[in-house]
Structure 1
């Protein structure tokens, strides 16, 4: 069933969570679920009594290259058979149930999955049919429920979305990507010393052109300029560009005279047009 361009997905050694789709109704949803699993680094898919004939080509067409997950998917007649080799079973449950059982968010559930697998135990997560979710008998097989804190006025998710939320939390639970970073390409963030050097250059030229001639306000104006340039993470390349801008403005002033003098000349020219 594998298509050209399938992703080279290989499960890591050891235990990782098993996604169990209970009585899924559409082959396309199985395919998009495999895609969501691949996004979040989940590789093991089990199907319980899928409505459409399995394997079904529409699943592979919807998987966007996550073919290996579908190729390796296992099919079972019952939930009990699908989880027989598991030590723990979690189940997604969008609606309140009258049962005493631990209930976790997706984030807490992902941390629980990490802990279970780290101890060498096998864990499955049950996802219910598209139309109504898991039934009470399905939930009775779980030792923990996962409920997503979504907008209470509209908390409906399709099957692949529900899997994607948990797959994302599973992935980021062990991901080292900084929560915030500045992309600088081939340059780097400027040091405070580099910025101070630029500020000296800028202030010197502002003094020379008369911009800071108001002595009582000069200190505050300089401080505001410093806050402006210190506010962000300016790069070394940007500092070099700013040095060039200030230097070019200075050369322009030297060539054409002080801006005030130019403004005076333009004003005089307007007041006394040629031929007046």
Structure 2
């Protein structure tokens, strides 16, 4: 852990992200933002086209200033990799050679193992237009590739960094299904509260002559209570609720006879049984 941000612990550890000859400052900034999202902080640039520092990069980083401020620039890829022990090269296309090819999940787990052993690691990303050359890849230990649509395999550099950064964070989680926050804890309603709600809405509907004809009222109340006491709706239940909403809405717009809709018709129990919402 390093420093705090808005009184929360700031994670800043893990493999270095190395961008080879990046072009746009905006792309570098979005890479920094993706890194910060998932706890990476060490960004290395190899011969950035527009130089460094870059105000466009800082703006695009969306306050990931600790990444931007710590960015190191190198003249060659060999210099950028010199102090690292293990490096992955990212690529979307098949390469000739003898490098092991790993999935992002396997690569992240391998990087985590090296990290825990005290080794310095890195992930290599290529140029926006052409990616990594074979000579670049030759300097890495293994290749990592993403399971993308083969007909549309090109990834924006920030997207590629985001994917690997996400897998890196997951590799350090004891439970990958865990979430950073939970739903608000709310006390379940009592039966007294639920019955009070039933009586409240039934009284409001009764005042609007929803329970028509009268001999259907008991069955309609049973149906209504069954719907309102369940967590999931079926199609017939939706029709019941549509009848309720239609009754209240027509009463409000008509502002006259509570038993009449805007066309002067009555919404009856027979119509509800037939699945009609009064239209």
With over 3 angstroms needed to count, the CA separation of the structure-2 counterparts of 1:9 and 1:134, relative to structure 1, is: farther
Deviations 1:52-98 (A, max 9, x none): 12112211121111122111111111111101111101010110111
Aligned to 2:95, which of 94, 97, 114?
A: 97
Q: CA deviation at 1:9?
A: 10
Runs of 4+ in 1 over 3 A off after TM superposition: 6-13, 179-182, 187-191, 228-232
Say which structure, 1 or 2, has more relative contact order (CA 8 Å, 6+ apart).
Answer: 1
1:145-164 equivalent positions in 2, closer than 5 A: 145-164=143-162
1:16-31 equivalent positions in 2, closer than 5 A: 16-31=14-29
TM-score by length of 2: 0.63
Q: Report if the CA contact (8 A) 1:24-1:130 is conserved.
A: yes
SS in 1 for 2:140: coil
Deviations 1:96-137 (A, max 9, x none): 111222211222221121111011101010000000100000
Residue of structure 2 in register with 1:248 after alignment: none
SS in 2 for 1:46: strand
TM-score by length of 1: 0.64
Runs (5+) with no aligned partner, structure 1: 1-5, 203-210, 215-220, 233-262, 264-276
Residue of structure 2 in register with 1:168 after alignment: 166
Residue of structure 1 in register with 2:76 after alignment: 78
Residue of structure 1 in register with 2:183 after alignment: 183
Aligned to 2:34, which of 29, 33, 36?
A: 36
CA RMSD after TM alignment: 4.1
Q: Report if the CA contact (8 A) 2:89-2:124 is conserved.
A: yes
Deviations 1:114-164 (A, max 9, x none): 111011101010000000100000000111111010111212211111101
1:50-65 equivalent positions in 2, closer than 5 A: 50-65=48-63
Q: CA deviation at 1:16?
A: 1.3
With over 3 angstroms needed to count, the CA separation of the structure-2 counterparts of 1:9 and 1:138, relative to structure 1, is: farther
**In structure 1, distance between residues paired with 2:78 and 2:44:** 12
Q: CA deviation at 1:173?
A: 2.5
Tell me the number of residue pairs that the alignment of Structure 1 and Structure 2 aligns.
224
